[in-house]
């Protein structure tokens, strides 16, 4: 029996249970992974090292100069030996995410070896699947969803609670709330150079499939896409300049008065008395109560609202 047998057996279990590698979602693969490898242990770097070793995988943290530029990690195969490399100076959260990401990519290769008729994911799709798998392992759906509501959809609070990056938490919220809630969320960050404009670096959103009337339609282009600069006078612009959270209690969307509209909050991450990041969250007004735990905690400046812009 080879050292990789545990991961092979796990992949074979996925195939038997779900009828094929492609029939199990990343959420399902992650849940099975936690049940098999992590159910009796606290999830940390030491535990992941033990899991990797049981699967015949060797972990190696590389100094900055040894890691290829623009990579947080990668894996290599030498015969029956498989290595996962991650940045030695990375955050604990980043290293754990990298290891799980690479494990999922190795699983994809095992699926192909075991089932030649399986069509493997292409490079970009494989990368996305590995990211989703890692997030689902690190932020279990049921527990994380409960915490999302408990914190009032507060990305900054959740990131601190789970010791995870703001971008990972933001995107995970998009995954667990998809189909349950109409919302838009974005992470704004400044450019690397001083005086560089702030832009949307990550964004997510969702619709309510359970209650279609809880969605607002016809908003194409209304919410900023990735890379969009902060608009002067916007809620995020006010938050950056004043270094305080701001909430717009009513964002009207039509010229005539109507009951439909949005509520939005912009919450800054403050470092040395300056905004380092801003998280923007918008919901339909009828769901504004979901933000109450966050509002009560951060005490935002109240802006009466905006018309046709954020």
Same domain, 103 and 166: no
Which residue, among 271, 291, 275, has the nearest Cα to 283 in the 3D structure? 291
Q: Which domain holds residue 12?
A: 5-138
Helices (H), the chain: 5-18, 26-33, 45-54, 92-114, 123-138, 141-150, 155-162, 166-177, 235-242, 292-298
Position 3 pLDDT exceeds 60: no
* Residue that finishes a domain, picked among 138, 165, 190: 138
- For tokens 């932020």, the residue is 139
In a domain, 104, yes or no: yes
Same domain, 160 and 69: no
Position 2 pLDDT exceeds 60: no
In a domain, 266, yes or no: yes
Put simply, whether the predicted model's pTM sits higher than 0.75 gets the answer yes
pLDDT band at 38; cut points 50, 70, 90: very high
* Residue that finishes a domain, picked among 111, 138, 165: 138
Question: Using CA atoms, how far apart are residues 49 and 122, in angstroms rounded to an integer?
Answer: 28
What does the pLDDT look like over 171-230, one tens digit per residue? Answer: 999 999 999 999 999 999 999 887 789 999 999 999 999 998 889 887 888 999 999 999
Question: Using CA atoms, how far apart are residues 236 and 279, in angstroms rounded to an integer?
Answer: 8
CATH number where 202 lies: 3.30.450.20
Question: Using CA atoms, how far apart are residues 265 and 279, in angstroms rounded to an integer?
Answer: 8
In a domain, 144, yes or no: no
What does the pLDDT look like over 44-80, one tens digit per residue? Answer: 999 999 999 988 899 999 988 788 888 889 999 887 7
Same domain, 162 and 267: yes
Same domain, 158 and 65: no
Same domain, 110 and 26: yes
Separation in Å, CA 230 to CA 77, 170, 199, 233, 306: 44, 18, 6, 9, 15
In a domain, 271, yes or no: yes
Where are the extended beta strands (E) located within 194-261?
199-208, 246-252
CATH number where 132 lies: 1.10.10
């Amino acid at each position: 029996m080879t050292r990789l047998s545990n991961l092979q057996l796990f992949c074979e279990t996925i195939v038997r249970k779900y009828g094929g590698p492609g029939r199990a979602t990343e959420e399902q693969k992650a849940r099975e992974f936690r049940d098999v490898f992590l159910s009796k242990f606290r999830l940390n770097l030491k535990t992941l090292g033990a899991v990797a070793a049981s699967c015949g995988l060797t972990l190696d943290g590389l100094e900055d100069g040894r890691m290829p530029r623009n990579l947080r990690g990668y894996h290599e195969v030498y015969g029956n030996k498989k290595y996962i490399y991650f940045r030695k100076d990375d955050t604990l959260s980043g290293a754990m995410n990298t290891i799980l990401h690479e494990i999922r990519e190795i699983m994809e290769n095992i699926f192909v070896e075991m089932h030649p008729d399986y069509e493997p994911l292409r490079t970009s799709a494989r990368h996305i699947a590995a990211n989703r798998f890692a997030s689902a392992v690190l932020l279990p759906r049921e527990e994380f969803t409960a915490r999302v509501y408990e914190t009032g959809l507060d990305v900054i609070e959740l990131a601190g609670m789970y010791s995870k990056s703001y971008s990972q938490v933001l995107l995970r919220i998009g995954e667990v709330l998809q189909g349950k809630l109409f919302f838009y969320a974005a992470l704004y960050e400044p450019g690397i150079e001083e005086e560089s404009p702030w832009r949307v670096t990550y964004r997510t959103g969702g619709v309510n499939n359970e209650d279609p009337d809880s969605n607002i339609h016809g908003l194409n282009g209304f919410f900023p896409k990735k890379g969009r600069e902060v608009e002067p006078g916007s809620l995020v612009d006010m938050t950056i300049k004043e270094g305080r959270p701001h909430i717009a209690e009513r964002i009207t969307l039509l010229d005539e008065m109507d009951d439909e509209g949005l509520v939005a909050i912009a919450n800054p991450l403050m470092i040395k008395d300056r905004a380092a990041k801003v998280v923007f969250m918008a919901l339909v007004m009828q769901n504004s109560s979901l933000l109450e735990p966050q509002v009560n905690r951060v005490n935002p400046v109240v802006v009466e609202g905006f018309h046709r812009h954020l």
